[in-house]
Chain A
Amino acid sequence: MRTYKPFDVFNKTFISILALLCTLPLLLVLIVSITDERSIQSRGYSFFPDQWSFDAYRMLFSGSSPLLQSYIVSITVTVVGTLLAVMITSMAGYTLAARHVRYRNGLAMFFFVTMVFNTGLVPWYMISTKLGLQNNIWALIIPSLVFNPFNLFLARNYMKQIPESLIEAAKMDGANDAFIAFRIFFPLSLPVLATITLFYGIGYWNNWFNAIMLVDTPNLYPLQYLLFKLNSEISMIQQMQSTTASLSTSLLPTESIKMATAIVTIGPIVLFYPFLQRYFIKGLLIGSVKE
């Protein structure tokens, strides 16, 4: 194989270029976020701006900017939602995996049907509003997010591999199903629980659909939705400025502040990325094997 040296060099270079293409666009967003507004106005977005400035971040992190409020909303929704979702999913996963439960396959069918036939947006919206899931934090947590049959089957398939004899032995010692699930099955299923935690966590952090459908009070905007709104509504930025006096220039950093918000929104994902990708890849590989 030594004879393929030139190809190896080409291959490594080519792949590096592709990987660069995956990161450069994000780098541009980062650079624009720390570019001085006048520099943007004269030369547009650029990898090599004339002048740097952290005004955008200064404005974002000033006391009354909506960013902090949205950050709190996003973190609350992600933490509470993910915890609830993982609980609901793993408990049901145990029931479907336990062989002594006679109707487990009937139950699995019950969940599966909704995966294949989806009635879509309108009934979902109407039921959510009917349940009072509108303009409150639960609207961002419960509808369509807190339980996902795909994750349920992921958990079940993993738990199925745990030997039934463990359940029998525990029952002999007088343990009930709740005890077996929480004390025996869940600790043995940590890899798959980590994976579904990650799927739900990412789902919550990146979700803005619930906000666009069910929320219209700005203090309930999650980060992603704030970001979505920011690009179309300059008024939101102007409002930010009126409450921020400490800027070094009088020029409003309209462009850089959008990009700075985007960067701040990516932040946690970058932070957790080593963990994310490890369990994500595991989950992908578990998920692609059925039964």
Chain B
Amino acid sequence: MNLSLMKRTFQEIRKNHIAYLLALPAVIYTFIFGYLTLPYILISFQKFNYKLGIWKSPFIGLDNFEFFFMSDRAWQVTFNTIRLNFLFIVVGTAAALLLAILFNELKGRRFSRIMQSTILFPHFLSWVIVSYVLYSFFASNYGLLNQTLDWLGLPQENWYSEPRYWVSILVSVNVWKEVGISLVIYLAAIAGIDNSLYEAATIDGANRRQQIRYITLPLLMPTVTILSLLALGKIMYGSFDMIYAIIKDNGLLYPTVDVIDTYVFRSLRTIGNPAQAMAVGLYQSIVGFILVFGVNLIVRKVSPDNSLF
């Protein structure tokens, strides 16, 4: 950095010092919780010891990574994270699209608004609350489902110990909780479609179904693509809140629903090995970053306005 640039920087900061001061709390916060976290990446290559800290703990090369990738858990949690997120995207998008089209056909605006508010409501609940909702259905002793099965004379099921059900349960409950958001966004996109297209189509004799098929759906596709791509960029990040609130430490269900984030949490808090937790976290960050970057390249091609950077 040469002298005149430093001088210019200094002058600019002096001139607008109050404006920069306004940003200072956010800058300090981001510096501490963003940039100062970077040195901690080092501990994934160490046999970490709290007393010695990140600068003095002995280095052990790639042992922490080896431990993770040599275990069958690495594949399992990665697969679970990606499978769950992928299903959330696909099923969630399909459900929201269908709903948006049905809502758009509604005649009464008041009715439509009330129904939208109702479907949006679960979004505002925490996953802990949702775990109670699920519990009231699936609890083995008093749960509504087992009571109903019993009443029908069918055998009861121990839901919380059968991993094979939980992918579908989590996908359904995720749609239940989050479909309202995509619905609102899609409805806004539909509202933005030029009305003259529909008028022209009506004059040409197109019926409602044809209008949906040839106008609404194609014009919604950019929005759908963007939202799905952005979600795809985050496919390596499982929802800790969701999984841990619902599954807790129920090891029986790990085979299908344990995700990277819960695995990292346990390595850190239950097993108490921060170095291994950091190694897995780093693997997640790097793959996650590559995905976000790649997805962004695609989005920039498809629709520059919606790209992240």
Contacts and interface: CB of A to CB of B under 8 A. Distances in A.
B136 A121 contact: no
B245 A228 contact: yes
Contacts of B36: 123, 127
B18 interface: yes
A43 B147 CA distance: 7
Interface string B229-240: 000000000001
Contacts of A103: 9, 12, 20
B171 interface: no
Contacts of B99: 15, 18
A49 B185 CA distance: 40
Interface residues of B, number: 90
A224 B241 CA distance: 11
Nearest to B95: A18
Contacts of A18: 99, 115, 119
Given A45-B139, A224-B126, A15 B106 contact: yes
B86 to A, nearest CB: 20
Interface string B162-194: 000000000000001000110011001000000
A119 B68 CA distance: 18
A16 B38 contact: no
A92 B25 contact: yes
Nearest to A147: B29
Contacts of A188: none
B210 interface: no
A30 B188 CA distance: 33
A114 B26 CA distance: 12
A156 to B, nearest CB: 11
Nearest to A181: B22
A40 B142 contact: yes
A162 to B, nearest CB: 15
Contacts of A1: 208
Interface string B135-162: 1110101111011000000000000000
B89 interface: no
Contacts of B19: 94-95, 98, 100-101, 177
Contacts of B107: 8
Contacts, number: 246
What is the predominant secondary structure among interface residues of chain B facing chain A? helix
A32 B106 CA distance: 35
Contact of A29 (B106, B136, B185, B208): B136
Contact of B133 (A26, A122, A224): A26
A46 interface: yes
B26 A91 contact: yes
Given A123-B40, A284-B181, A178 B18 contact: yes
Contacts of B114: 19
A238 interface: no
Given A94-B19, A102-B12, 5 more contacts: A91-B22, A100-B16, A123-B41, A176-B18, A276-B124
The 8 closest A-B pairs by CB, nearest first: A114-B34, A123-B37, A123-B40, A120-B281, A92-B26, A206-B126, A44-B142, A95-B23
9 contacts: A7-B208, A25-B137, A28-B133, A118-B288, A119-B38, A122-B268, A127-B33, A209-B241, A265-B129
